[in-house]
Chain A
Amino acid sequence: MTSTPSPPPPSAAALPAAVLPDATLPQPARRRPHMPRKFWIGAVIVGGYAVAALLAPVLAPADPMAQDVANRLADPGTNHLLGTDELGRDVFSRLVHGIRVDLMVGFLGAFFPLVVGTLLGALAGYLGGWADVVIMRITDLVQGFPVYILIIALVFALGPGIRTILIAFTAIAWVIYARIIRDAILRVRSLDYVQAARAAGIPHHRILLRHVIPNTIHQSVIYFTSDVLFAILAVAAFSFLGLGVPPPTPEWGSMIAEGQPYLRDQWWLAAAPGVAIVGIGLGLSLLGDGVDDRWRR
C-alpha cells in the first residue's frame, strides 16, 4: 500500500464535504436481521458449558483430586454419580472440573493464533515488500508440514504441559488467520469504497478498522470456532497419548486413557469424558456452521 494518502481526485473534491465522512460510505458488512436456529442451539450448548465451568466448584459434589483408594472403581450411584476411578476419585467431579481445563486450553489455543496471525497478516498485507515475502514463505513452510506431528515434536522438546501445548498451537495455527487478513487487505484496498475513503484522506488505521476488519472478521470467526473445537480435540488427544496436560489435573483425554484398562467392567470411566467432548464439539460446530450460513446467504 502506498504510504501516504493520495491526493483527492477532482471528482471527490467536487463533492460536498458532508457526503464524505465514512459513515455514508457503502458498508458491505451490513447486519442481517437474524442468525439461523442452529447458531442459537450451538450458542446455548457452548454457553451451558461455560456456565458449568464457572460454577464447577458448586456443581461438583466432591474434590476432583481427593483420593479414596479404599473406595476405588466404585459403581455409579447416589454417592458418586459416575462412580470413582482407579484412585477412588469422584469421576463426575473430575468431569465438571475438566470443563475448565479443556475449555480454557481450547479457547486460548485458538485465541493466541488468531491474534498473532491477524497481526502478522496485517503486517504482511500492509507493508508489502520483503515483510510480505518472508511472512508468506513461512506460512507455506508451516502448511507444507504435518502440523500435528510437529506439535508432538515440539511437546517433546519443550516438555509436556498446558504452556507447551499453547505455544505449539500458536506456532502452527496462526497461518490461516494471517492469510485471511493479508488477502483481505490486498483485495479490499482496490475496492471503490476504500479508494473513496482514502481519497477522502481517512487515515490507514481507520480504513483498516472500519472497512477491512469488518469485512473479514466473519471468516476469522468461522475459523476461530472450528479452531477452538480442534484445539479441544487435540489437547484431549495429546493428553490421551501422555503428551498433554500431565496428571493429576482433571482433563478429559487423560481421563479416557485412565479408563481404558477398565473398559470391560467400568466402561463409563472411558465413555463419559468422551460424551463431554462430543457435546462441546457439537455446540461449537453448530455455532460455526450458523455463522457460516448467515454470511454465505
Chain B
Amino acid sequence: MSGRFLFVGKRLILAVPLLLGVVLLVFLLLQITPGDPARQIVGLRASEADVAQVRDQLGLDDSVFSQYARYLGGVVQGDLGFSYKSRQPVADMVAARLPVSGWLVISGLVVSLMITIPLGVWAAIQRDRAGDHITRGVSLLGIAMPSFWVGLMLILLVALPTGWFPVGGFGDTFGQRLNAIVLPAVTLGIAMAPIQIRSLRASIIRCLGSDYVAAGRALGASGFLLVRRFVLRNAASSMVTLAAVQTSFLLFTMVVLETTFGLPGLGQGMVMAAVQRDLPAVQGYTLVFALTVVLVYLLADVVNAVLDPRVEIRG
C-alpha cells in the first residue's frame, strides 16, 4: 500500500516541472506574436504617448524574465489578465464558459462508452469473424469522418426533419439546454468511439489469453459472462490510459463542435478569441486546456495505481 502512495507522491512531484513548462509555453505566445499588444489595446488612432503609457502599465518594457515571473505569479492566483476585446478578466470568461464545455464532454463520453463497450466486446469475442470485421469497418469509417461534418449531417438528417433539436445555440432554460446538448454529445461520442473500440478490443483479446481467464473458462464461464466477470476490470486499466491519451483529441473535437453547434463553451471562446486576435484570452484558454491535459494524465496514473496494485513508476 505504501508503495502506491509513494508512486502517487512521485507522480505529483513530477507534474510540477511540466506545469511550469506549460505556463512558460503559453507565456511565450506573447513573445512570438507579432505586433504591439499596447497598440492593439488603444487602437490605431491613439497617440504614441498613450501607447507608451499602456506599455508601461502592462510592464511590456520590463525584461522577459520579470514579465514571465509576473505572469506566473498571476496564474498561480487565478489571474489570467484582461481581454483586449471585452475588457473583462479572462478568468471570468473562462468561468462562465466552463460549465457548457463540461456538460458537453461528460455527455459525449457517456455516448462514446455506450458505443464502445458493446462493439469492443463484440469484436473481441468474434475475433477474426464477422462481428470483428463489421466493427473494424465501422471504426475505419468513423475515423475518416470529420466531426464537424458529422454534426452538420445530424442537423440535416435529424434536427431539421423532426424539429426536436435546435440547429444551434444553447437556450436559457434547463430543458432547452439539455435539448441543445444532445446532438453535439452524440457527434462527440461518434468521434471518440472508433479509437476506443480498437483499444478495448485489443486489451480484451490480450486478457483473454491470460492465465486467470483460462481459470475462468475452467470454471465454466464463456462469452459475455467471461468478459464481464474476468476481463473488463483488467482491461479497464488500459482504457484509463487511453482516455488520458485521447484527451487532447477530445478537447480539439470539443472546440470544433462548440463552434459547429454555436455552444458558448471554452472552445467557441478560444476560436472567437483567435479570430479577433485577443491575445490574453487565447493565452487563458490555451492554459486552461493544457492544465486539463496535465491533470487528466495525473489522474489516470492515480486511478491506475488504485485499480491495479502492480503499477510502478515507469522509466
Contact = CB atoms under 8 A, between A and B. Distances in A.
B274 A285 contact: no
A168 to B, nearest CB: 12
B140 A152 contact: no
B256 A241 contact: yes
B251 A156 contact: no
Interface string B51-81: 0000000000000000000000000000000
Contacts of B293: 144-146
Contacts of B249: 148
Interface in A142-158: 144-150, 152-153, 155-158
A278 B152 CA distance: 14
Interface stretch (B18-26, B170-178, B181-189): B18-26
B290 A149 contact: yes
B42 interface: no
Nearest to B159: A263
A256 B149 contact: yes
Given A149-B248, A156-B33, A240-B148, A144 B18 contact: yes
B144 interface: yes
B289 interface: yes
Nearest to B285: A149
Of the candidates B143, B146, B147, B156, the one having the most CB atoms from chain A within 10 angstroms of its own CB is: B146
Q: How large is the interface on A (under 10, 10 to 19, 20 to 34, 35 or more residues)?
A: 35 or more
Contacts of B248: 145-149
B226 interface: no
A271 interface: yes
A65 interface: no
Interface residues of B, number: 49
Interface string B131-145: 000000000110111
Nearest to A148: B252
A17 to B, nearest CB: 41
B156 A263 contact: yes
A291 interface: no
A147 B22 CA distance: 12
A277 interface: yes
A34 B277 CA distance: 53
A199 B167 CA distance: 69
B141 A152 contact: no
Contacts of B252: 146, 148-149, 237
Contacts of B96: none
Contact of A256 (B33, B141, B152): B152
B251 A267 contact: no
A243 B146 contact: no
B18 A240 contact: no
Contacts of A229: 143-144
Contacts, number: 134
Interface in B269-294: 270-271, 274-275, 277, 279, 282-283, 285-286, 289-290, 292-294
A289 interface: yes
Contacts of B149: 256, 270, 273-274, 277-278
Interface string B241-266: 00000011101100110011000000
A281 B294 contact: no
Given A148-B248, A149-B248, A282-B141, A243 B289 contact: no
Interface string B15-50: 000100110011001001110000000000000000
B129 to A, nearest CB: 16
Contacts of A256: 146, 148-149, 152
Contacts of A284: 144
B31 to A, nearest CB: 9
Contact of A152 (B33, B255, B279, B294): B255
Q: Enumerate the 5 nearest inter-chain pairs by beta-carbon distance, A residue then B residue, closest first.
A: A281-B144, A148-B252, A274-B149, A146-B248, A149-B289
Given A241-B271, A277-B149, 12 more contacts: A145-B22, A149-B289, A149-B290, A153-B282, A153-B286, A156-B33, A156-B274, A158-B32, A229-B143, A240-B146, A263-B156, A274-B146
30 contacts: A146-B290, A148-B255, A149-B251, A149-B270, A149-B286, A150-B286, A152-B271, A152-B274, A153-B282, A156-B29, A156-B274, A156-B279, A159-B34, A229-B144, A233-B146, A236-B146, A240-B259, A240-B260, A243-B274, A256-B149, A260-B152, A270-B149, A270-B156, A274-B145, A277-B144, A278-B145, A281-B145, A282-B144, A285-B140, A289-B140
Interface of B: 18, 21-22, 25-26, 29, 32-34, 140-141, 143-149, 152-153, 155-156, 160, 167, 247-249, 251-252, 255-256, 259-260, 270-271, 274-275, 277, 279, 282-283, 285-286, 289-290, 292-294, 297
Interface of A: 140-141, 144-150, 152-153, 155-159, 229, 233, 236-237, 240-243, 253, 256, 260, 263-264, 267, 270-271, 273-274, 277-278, 280-282, 284-286, 289
